Amino acid sequence: MKTILITGVSSGFGRAIAERLSANGHKVIGTVRKPLAERVTFETITLDVTQSDSIKSGIETILRENKHIDVLINNAGFGLTGEMELTSPADRKKIFDTNLFGYMDMIDAVLPSMRETKRGLIINIASLAGIFAIPYQGFYATTKFAVNGYSESLRYELKDSGVNVVVVNPGDYKTGFTGNRILTPIHTEYQERFDTVVKAIEKDETKGLNPSHCARLIEKIILKKNPNYRYIAGNLEHKASVLLSKILPQRIFSKIIASHYHM
């Protein structure tokens, strides 16, 4: 049995991962910004990944009660859809604070105890949008590109420490992410094109995989002695798109993406 800390378990990937891991005997502690109204099968702790004091006190409480955190799964995040040019500084800061700096601060908080015991696993949930950009999700993609780069660099730094770093890049899944994304302003002359793109994005998401699919992959990673650095969580189309992004000329791959979103 492992002690596993997961950020953002109110819904989506976080909830599915927490439920699966707790059902299979692991000690799961999930972070929520507000206490959940319903009963769940795992422990929760009120913690805001954008607030350093909240992270500090939360991790201290967990370590005091459990002595060690075997696995940290950074999952908390949200989507921002619109034109980068018109996105407010406040919204830009908010998505970076949650989707990137929240990951970093959580890792900084758990690493000392992992280093001390020379064991631990950090799993950072990124996105296919962190491998190739998607129209009108520029700042979301930017945070996920950064998560990928940060994770890869951190893996080198933690070599021989006993702490492993894995990044998981999910494709389209049917979660609450679709309804919770924040829409930012659009130039009037681009509104029709924007609406068409968003419709295509939401169609892919609502017809996407069940988050339990990603939860099964996470469990397999946790049980592996030597997990790979990167995993693509998705169907054959998602995995093929990653391959094509690497082997096709950028000009051709960009046309494929634009066509998919009817641009």
Question: Nearest Cα to 130, choosing from 91, 88, 77, 183?
Answer: 77
Q: Burial, 33: exposed, middle or buried (Cβ in 10 Å; 0-12, 13-18, 19+)?
A: middle
Residues 6+ apart with CB under 8 A from 3: 26, 27, 29, 66, 68, 69, 70, 71
**Angle, in degrees to the nearest 10, between helices 211-223 and 12-23:** 50
CB-CB contact of 30 with 45 (8 Å): yes
Catalytic residue among 140, 150, 173, 231: 140
Active site (annotated) includes residue 150 = no
Distances from the Cα of 256 to the Cα of 81, 98, 138, 192, 253, angstroms = 20, 30, 17, 20, 5
Opening angle at CA 161, ends 146 and 231, nearest 5? 40
> Helix or strand or coil: residue 88?
coil
Which residues participate in catalysis according to the annotation? Answer: 140
